[in-house]
Amino acid sequence: MSPYTLADLDQRPDLVPNVLALFATTAQGSGHVVCGIPARMGLEPAAADLKGTLGVLLAMSGRRLAGALAICPYSEEQVTLWGPVIPDPREQPRVMPVLMQELRRALREGGFTSMRSQVDTRNRTLRAWMMAEGFGPWKDMHCYERELAPFRSADISDVQAAARADLDDAARILAECFPDSDHHRPNLVQRENEGYRHYVLRHEGRTVGAAAVQGGGRRSWLKLIGVPRSERGKHLAHRLLDGVLASEARLAHHAMGLEVLDDNRPAIALYEKTGFQRRWSASLLIAPV
Ligand SMILES: CC(C)(COP(=O)(O)OP(=O)(O)OC[C@H]1O[C@@H](n2cnc3c(N)ncnc32)[C@H](O)[C@@H]1OP(=O)(O)O)[C@@H](O)C(=O)NCCC(=O)NCCS
């Protein structure tokens, strides 16, 4: 019989500090577990991050927390995992199956069909654990960040925070640039109600670029930026991103972060030319439920 019992953080709110401490032990570096909530990557985990998850599974050995695994929303079919974090590697072979079995059961019940795990490329241990659990590599991604302070006085007259009347144009551009994303569904008004901010670039009387940003404070997060295919290569995205950075600086946010797939050369060129620096790289591992 397994020496571990399962619990859900919802039923054990007293364990929130323990769970945060557990996630925080994976300091940046070879052991760094890339957080399942991309916007929080590399930041100290906070109670609000746990609230933003779909659930946190706990493996208990008596009263001791032996492992934790947070399930983060990604799409209607897929979730992103944050963890598992198992502080004592000797316990991993026994704790891991307990958490993964319960995870799969919960995901099937919730109607999810697949899961993704963003594993720091330096974290060979976690990668090996995930591969043994049926995960396979999909693509590598990078997390970029830049400070916002130098942008406060920039000229941003052609970049506007999208008004209600601009949201349809912004949605059309984002739908063309990100055909697999559901960000524009059902509409951007709903996304704004969820806390997103949208920006548009106007050029010769037309809207020629759109961006979606979320979060703020220590770091706001560039979720999407796109320019229609027919307008690319004219430095429009560069112009738009400069405007987004300046606008976010005026909102007194400290830094902006983003994630980008390793094979998106134009986007990486854009980010590096606008002063973003690569902070972490992760392998995206995918598994069916
Ligand atoms: C990424 C994207 C926004 C770039 O738009 P764009 O208007 O063509 O980009 P810009 O012309 O402003 O180019 C930005 C910089 O990247 C460079 N660049 C652009 N495309 C490039 C490419 N294919 N290869 C190498 N460098 C490239 C440019 O030289 C430019 O630098 P500069 O202004 O200092 O000369 C656009 O390709 C797009 O909408 N892609 C689909 C959506 C997407 O993947 N978005 C990013 C992920 S969130």
**Coil/strand/helix, residue 42:** coil
Long-range contacts of 164-169 (CB under 8 A, 24+ apart): 164/189, 166/198, 166/200, 166/207, 167/192, 167/198, 169/200, 169/207, 169/210
Same domain, 130 and 153: no
Q: Is residue 263 part of a domain?
A: no
Q: Is residue 259 part of a domain?
A: no
What's the total number of domains in the chain?
2
Same domain, 135 and 153: no
End residue of a domain, out of 142, 162, 178? 142
Same domain, 130 and 40: yes
Q: Is 227 in the pocket of ligand 1 (CB under 6 A)?
A: yes
Same domain, 110 and 21: yes
pLDDT in the model for residue 154: 61
Residue whose Cα lies nearest atom 33 of ligand 1: it is: 235
Same domain, 157 and 124: no
Residue whose Cα lies nearest atom 44 of ligand 1: it is: 267
pLDDT in the model for residue 27: 60
Q: Is 224 in the pocket of ligand 1 (CB under 6 A)?
A: yes
Q: Is residue 79 part of a domain?
A: yes
How many CB atoms lie under 10 A from the CB of residue 245?
A: 27
Q: Is 246 in the pocket of ligand 1 (CB under 6 A)?
A: no
Cα-to-centroid distance, 48 and ligand 1 (Å): 34
Q: Is 289 in the pocket of ligand 1 (CB under 6 A)?
A: no
Same domain, 113 and 20: yes
Residue whose Cα lies nearest atom 23 of ligand 1: it is: 266
Q: Which atom of ligand 1 is nearest to the CA of 269?
A: 16
Same domain, 16 and 66: yes
Same domain, 9 and 67: yes
How far, in Å, CA of 268 to CA of 283, rounded?
A: 16
Q: pLDDT tens for residues 149-177?
A: 876 556 677 788 998 999 999 999 999 99
pLDDT in the model for residue 30: 60
Domain around 215: 149-253
Same domain, 133 and 13: yes
Q: Is residue 272 part of a domain?
A: no
Nearest one of 22, 24, 26, 32 to 121, comparing CA atoms = 32
Angle, vertex CA 27, rays to CA 25 and CA 28, nearest 5 = 160
Residue whose CB lies within 8 A of the most ligand 1 atoms, among 238, 241, 268, for a mutation test? 238
Long-range contacts of 38-44 (CB under 8 A, 24+ apart): 38/80, 38/118, 38/143, 38/221, 38/259, 39/214, 39/215, 39/219, 39/221, 39/257, 41/143, 41/257, 41/259, 41/279, 41/280, 42/143, 42/279, 42/280, 43/218, 43/219
Residue whose Cα lies nearest atom 3 of ligand 1: it is: 226
Q: pLDDT tens for residues 24-55?
A: 887 665 666 778 887 888 788 889 889 989 99
Nearest one of 49, 91, 88 to 70, comparing CA atoms = 49
Q: Is residue 287 part of a domain?
A: no
Q: Is 263 in the pocket of ligand 1 (CB under 6 A)?
A: no
Same domain, 22 and 65: yes
Q: Is 273 in the pocket of ligand 1 (CB under 6 A)?
A: yes
Q: Is residue 284 part of a domain?
A: no
How far, in Å, CA of 9 to CA of 19, rounded?
A: 9
Residue whose Cα lies nearest atom 21 of ligand 1: it is: 266
Q: What is the CATH number of the domain that holds 191?
A: 3.40.630.30
Each residue's pLDDT tens digit in the chain (289 positions)?
788 999 999 999 999 999 999 988 876 656 667 788 878 887 888 898 899 899 999 999 999 999 999 999 888 899 999 999 998 989 999 999 999 999 999 999 999 999 999 998 888 888 999 999 999 999 999 999 999 987 655 667 778 899 899 999 999 999 999 998 989 999 999 999 999 999 999 998 999 999 999 988 889 999 999 999 999 999 999 999 999 999 999 998 999 999 999 999 999 999 999 999 999 899 999 999 9
Q: Is 218 in the pocket of ligand 1 (CB under 6 A)?
A: no
Same domain, 131 and 202: no
Same domain, 98 and 162: no
Residue whose CB lies within 8 A of the most ligand 1 atoms, among 143, 270, 272, for a mutation test? 270
